[in-house]
Amino acid sequence: MLSILNIPAFNDNYIWLLEANDNHCAIIDPGNAVPVLEVLEERGLHLDAILITHHHHDHVGGVPKLKACFHDLTVYGPTTTRFPYVTHPLSNNGKFVLFNSIFTVFQVPGHTRDHIAYYADGMLFCGDTLFSGGCGRLFEGTPAQMLASLTILTLLSDNTQVYCAHEYTQANLKFALAVEPNNFLLNQYASDVNVLRTSGMSTIPSSIGKEKSINPFLRTHYASVKAGVKHRVECTSDLDTFTTLRRWKDEF
Q: For 60-71, what is each residue's pLDDT tens digit?
A: 999 999 999 998
Strands 74-78, 46-51: pairing is: parallel
Q: What is the pLDDT of residue 227?
A: 92
Instruction: Please tell me what DSSP assigns to residue 158.
Output: T
Angstrom CA distances, 221 to 69, 111, 226, 236, 248, stand at 48, 21, 7, 10, 17
Angle between helices 238-251 and 169-179 (to 10 degrees): 120
Q: What is the pLDDT of residue 246?
A: 96
Closest CA to 159 of 207, 191, 203, 199: 207
Q: Which residue spans within the chain are E strands per DSSP?
A: 3-9, 13-19, 24-28, 46-51, 74-78, 88-90, 95-98, 101-107, 116-120, 123-127, 130-131, 134-135, 161-164, 206-207
**Mean pLDDT computed over 178-200:** 97
Residues taking part in catalysis: 54, 56, 58-59, 111, 128, 166
Closest CA to 135 of 152, 121, 160: 152
**pLDDT tens readout for residues 38-63:** 999 999 999 999 999 999 999 999 99
Angstrom CA distances, 240 to 164, 175, 246, stand at 25, 18, 10
